[in-house]
Amino acid sequence: MELTDIQKKILEEVADLHKIPVGAYNIRANGESVGRNSSANIEITSKTDVSGIDIKIKPGTKNESVHIPVVISQTGLKENVHNDFFVGEDSDVLIVAGCGIDNCGSSDSEHDGIHRFYIGKNARVKYVEKHYGSGAGKGKRILNPVTEVYMEEGSYCEMEMVQIKGVDDTERVTHAELKEGARMIVHERLMTHDDQHAVSRYDVELNGEGSSADVVSRAVARDRSYQRFDAKIIGNAPCSGHSECDSIIMDNGTILAVPALEANNVDAALIHEAAIGKIAGEQLVKLMTLGLTEQEAEEEIINGFLR
Amino acid sequence: MLELKNIVYQVEENGEGIGILNDVSLVIPDGKLTVITGPNGGGKSTLARIIAGVVKPTSGKIFFNGQDITDMSITDRARLGIGFAFQQPVRFKGIRVVDLIRLAKGEKKLSSSDACKYLAAVGLCAKDYINREVNSSLSGGELKRIEIATVLAKKSALSVFDEPEAGIDLWSFQNLIEVFDGMRKNIEGSSIIIISHQERILQIADEIVLVKEGKIDCQGTCDEILPKLVGTESAVKSCGVIDLWKGGDN
Ligand SMILES: Nc1ncnc2c1ncn2[C@@H]1O[C@H](COP(=O)(O)OP(=O)(O)OP(=O)(O)O)[C@@H](O)[C@H]1O
Ligand SMILES: [Mg+2]
């Protein structure tokens, strides 16, 4: 597998990968698979109808991981990828995705991806997705991920979605359907700067008795950037749902938080919280009394907030 | 040496200026532990905030080791060697105890044994707390101890503690007294101000300053002032709760 230095750097950013990962992996660079490994329990195959892969995880697979990072370093590349994950019953796996675009050119580079998760009974999935952009070119770095999650009885899914830097335009759509006793936890962290634009939509259907979802977003909008967070939780059974959008606004940023709840069952307990505000003055003061400048204090507060 | 000269601090309320500090002049000597006491609302915390640069006086001057710091920022005063533990410590989101102690020490990295030292000094078991977030999940007493630990870690030429004992349980209070006693023994070249209502803390003071109604009521050595305070009206006033149980009329 041959990767350029820039590609290696992006891999580090999005997947914490310094070398070839252990276990199953598929590394996609500039629209092609440049390295792939299936393991005894996790099989990765290319789709034949569209661009993308199928990841099949055997029932009962425990403590294994799949890495499927995507790097784009070619200006003007636009791709559309479909990846499907079939997570067998009773398995317990870590899935690390992520996409980094380095665009030094003048044409836009864009990665649109659909990830569909079919999570079997009592299976546990931890999903980590990092998005990152770099490069000084005029061309935009655009990422539009669609995530669909179908959860069987008693399954558990924890999703960590992070976009901290360099992505000019993003529209994220996450849709989930949960059966009896399934639990979903989402932890999204988003920072936009300069003239970036980010929209994140969730709709989570709690269809089974005892299902639950917790969607938490922490967001920072700096400079002239724009963010919109739409989270809708739908309770169709006795269930519990919670969404939270906690945002820091700076400079001339804009944040629009649109939390929505829909209950179609008298025993659906749904809560949402949304808060937008600037950095608390007394937090700055405390760090300044420790010797930090106002800018340093701001950085520490934001780094902590987005941790 | 810290010197406050004719400090006046006024706030506007309904177009009227209300005097919070009224012409306060005060010298905090080097190598001494000075305790500032006095009734609630007397202006002690305001004085501390003026020393740390958190609020600017309406008029008057502040000198630190001969240098006029009246117009100096919070950051520059901190770098010059002024430390300040808040009466009501701030909570954060995502910043951990270890981060605050590391920032206080001004180092890029902090070994856990180093961080341990400061937490142990305030009676916290380091391994339970070091990675905790300094957020609303901490109890009031825990937060207060962490606040003190950050100021200990900062190692300042002048450390100001605003009611460090507030919210600290009895058992740990003894421990805290020992921390301040220890600081006093190694005070050479530095000085400490503690704002407190506690007799036990007043007892370890070198100097006591009584602040009342925005003025310095009196200042002197512990031996001079303490006997006057204990049992007098001003000491009782700062313990309103006891008043109530005694059947007092306020
Ligand atoms: N910005 C402000 N606006 C209005 N009043 C203020 C302001 N700052 C302080 N004060 C008032 O000034 C007085 C002194 O407050 P300060 O906090 O300094 O008292 P303190 O001596 O520290 O009291 P305590 O023992 O209760 O901590 C109080 O009556 C307080 O309400
Ligand atoms: Mg006070």
Reference B8, options B40, B56, B45; nearest CA is: B56
- Give me ligand 2 centre to Cα A10, in Å: 51
What's the number of domains chain B is made of?
Answer: 1
Give the Cα separation of B187 and B202 in Å (integer).
17
* Contact by Cβ (8 Å): A268, A235: yes
**At B125, is the pLDDT very low, low, confident or very high (cuts 50, 70, 90)?**
confident
Residue B127 has pLDDT above 90, yes or no: no
Residue B148 has pLDDT above 70, yes or no: yes
- B11 is a domain residue: yes
- B246 is a domain residue: no
Q: What is the DSSP letter of B73?
A: -
Report which protein residue has its CA nearest ligand 1's atom 18: B43
Give the Cα separation of A159 and A180 in Å (integer).
19
Q: What is the DSSP letter of B174?
A: H
- pLDDT for the residue numbered B236: 43
- A26: how many CB neighbours lie within 10 A of its CB? 22
- pLDDT for the residue numbered B238: 43
Q: Which residue in A291, A293, A305 is closest to B106 by CB distance?
A: A291
Which two tokens mark A293? 């400048």
- Cβ neighbours for B208, distance < 8 A, ≥ 6 positions apart: B34, B35, B36, B37, B202, B219, B220, B221, B222, B224, B225, B226, B229
Please report, for the domain that includes residue B207, its CATH number: 3.40.50.300
B-chain residues within 8 Å CB-CB of A291?
A: 75, 78-79, 103, 106, 154
Question: Is residue B156 helix, strand or coil?
Answer: coil
- pLDDT for the residue numbered A174: 97
The distance of A294 to chain B (nearest Cα, Å) reads: 8
The distance of A190 to chain B (nearest Cα, Å) reads: 14
Using CA atoms in the order B207, B212, B214, B217, what is the torsion angle rounded to 10 degrees?
Answer: -50
Evaluate: CB of B17 within 6 angstroms of ligand 1. Answer: no
Residue B75 has pLDDT above 80, yes or no: yes
- Give me ligand 2 centre to Cα B241, in Å: 17
- Give me ligand 2 centre to Cα B149, in Å: 19
Residue B232 has pLDDT above 70, yes or no: no
Residue B248 has pLDDT above 60, yes or no: no
- Cβ neighbours for A76, distance < 8 A, ≥ 6 positions apart: A105, A107, A108, A109, A139
Interface of A with B in 202-261 (CB under 8 A): 218, 246
**At B56, is the pLDDT very low, low, confident or very high (cuts 50, 70, 90)?**
very high
Give the Cα separation of A38 and B162 in Å (integer).
61
Give, for all 307 residues of chain A, the pLDDT tens digit: 677 888 888 888 877 776 777 889 999 999 888 889 999 999 999 999 999 999 999 999 999 999 999 999 888 999 999 999 999 999 999 999 988 888 888 899 999 999 999 999 999 999 999 998 888 888 899 999 999 999 999 999 999 999 988 899 999 999 999 999 999 999 999 999 999 999 999 999 999 999 999 999 999 999 999 999 999 999 999 999 999 999 999 999 999 999 999 999 999 999 999 999 999 999 999 999 999 999 999 999 999 999 8
- B133 is a domain residue: yes
- pLDDT for the residue numbered B233: 53
Percentage of chain B exceeding pLDDT 90: 64
Reference A218, options A292, A139, A302, A289; nearest CA is: A302
Backbone torsions φ then ψ of A201, nearest 5 degrees: -120, 140
The reply to whether A282 touches chain B by the CB within 8 Å rule is yes
Evaluate: CB of B11 within 6 angstroms of ligand 1. Answer: yes
| 3-class DSSP string for A110-136 | EEEEEEEEEECCCCEEEEEEEEEEECC
In the beta sheet, which residues pair with residue B13?
B16
Evaluate: CB of B34 within 6 angstroms of ligand 1. Answer: no
Give the Cα separation of A177 and A151 in Å (integer).
6
The reply to whether B113 touches chain A by the CB within 8 Å rule is no
Q: Which is more confident, B230 or A81?
A: A81
Nearest CA in chain B to A284: B90
Evaluate: CB of B44 within 6 angstroms of ligand 1. Answer: yes
Residue B249 has pLDDT above 70, yes or no: no
**Range B67-81 average pLDDT:** 97
Q: Which residue in A282, A289, A307 is closest to B94 by CB distance?
A: A307
Give the Cα separation of B21 and B38 in Å (integer).
13
Q: Which residue in A283, A289, A303 is closest to B52 by CB distance?
A: A289
* Contact by Cβ (8 Å): B164, B148: yes
| DSSP assignments along chain A, one per residue | ----HHHHHHHHHHH--SSPPSSEEEEEETTEEEEEE--SSEEEEE-SSSSEEEEEE-TT-EEEEEE--EEE-STT-EEEEEEEEEE-TT-EEEEE--EEEE--SSS-EEEEEEEEEEEPTT-EEEEEEEEEEE---SS-EEEEEEEEEEE-TT-EEEEEEEEEE---EEEEEEEEEE-TT-EEEEEEEEEE-TT-EEEEEEEEEE-STTEEEEEEEEEEE-TT-EEEEEEEEEE-SSEEEEEEEEEEE-TT-EEEEEEEEEE-STTEEEEEEEEEEPPPHHHHHHHHHTT--HHHHHHHHHHHHT-
Give the Cα separation of A118 and A136 in Å (integer).
39
The reply to whether B135 touches chain A by the CB within 8 Å rule is no
A-chain residues within 8 Å CB-CB of B154?
A: 290-291
The distance of B206 to chain A (nearest Cα, Å) reads: 25
Of the ligands numbered here, which is closest to the C-alpha atom of B39? 1
- Give me ligand 1 centre to Cα A125, in Å: 53
The reply to whether B93 touches chain A by the CB within 8 Å rule is yes
Q: What is the DSSP letter of B92?
A: -
**At B171, is the pLDDT very low, low, confident or very high (cuts 50, 70, 90)?**
confident
- B244 is a domain residue: no
- Please count the residue pairs, one from chain A and one from chain B, whose beta carbons lie less than 8 angstroms apart: 60
Backbone torsions φ then ψ of A41, nearest 5 degrees: -105, -15
Ion ligand 2 — residues with CB < 5 Å: B 45, 87
B-chain residues within 8 Å CB-CB of A282?
A: 90
B133: domain range?
A: 2-238
B91-114 pLDDT, tens digit each: 999 999 999 999 999 888 888 788
A-chain residues within 8 Å CB-CB of B93?
A: 218, 246, 304-305
- B243 is a domain residue: no
- B229 is a domain residue: yes
Give the Cα separation of B112 and B130 in Å (integer).
8
Q: Cβ contact (<8 Å) for B74 and A306?
A: no
Nearest CA in chain A to B154: A290
Give the Cα separation of B148 and A54 in Å (integer).
55
* Contact by Cβ (8 Å): A62, A92: yes
The reply to whether A275 touches chain B by the CB within 8 Å rule is no
